[in-house]
Amino acid sequence: MSRHPLQPCRPSVEPARAHLRGRTLGRPRPINAARLLGAGEWQVTRTVIVPSTMAWLFASLTPAVSFSLIGVIVGEFIGAEHGIGRMIIEAEARGEAAGMMVAVFVLMIVGVILASIVRRVQAYLLRWRPAQTIGTT
């Protein structure tokens, strides 16, 4: 048992806090260069720290969207009166393979749409980064 009641949450909170403070950048050179050029704390945060943490944010956001969709469906399995999860449960109870396949197809379409939205937002917000090609170093 941990000494603090929120200790189990620390592994997920600490990396986010470290990213926001700029500890995980690994290289303090861009921050020091911006300060040398006369940037204040807000300018350093806006022009150096936030852009460098965007890649980490989107790397964790893509699977988070998938897990949230799974969580919604599991929640509908348990206690919803309407929804795709309820449709799957009812089709399973009646033995309707077609109803289950329709629900799975709808889930697939929703997942693809959500993933494409995340990719488009990522491409828009990270447009300052050079395009990466596979196989080059």
Could you tell me which residues come within 8 angstroms of residue 5 by beta carbon, excluding any fewer than 6 positions away?
A: none
Sign of the dihedral defined by the CA atoms of residues 133, 30, 122, 69, in that order: positive
**Model confidence, pTM:** 0.64
Crossing angle between the packed helical segments 50-79 and 84-94, to the nearest 10 degrees: 40
Question: 63-96: per-residue pLDDT in tens?
Answer: 888 888 888 888 888 887 888 888 888 888 899 8
* Cβ atoms within 10 Å, residue 12: 9
Question: 96-119: per-residue pLDDT in tens?
Answer: 889 889 988 998 999 899 989 988
User: Could you tell me the CA-to-CA distances from 70 to 46, 76, 85 in Å, in that order?
Assistant: 34, 10, 10
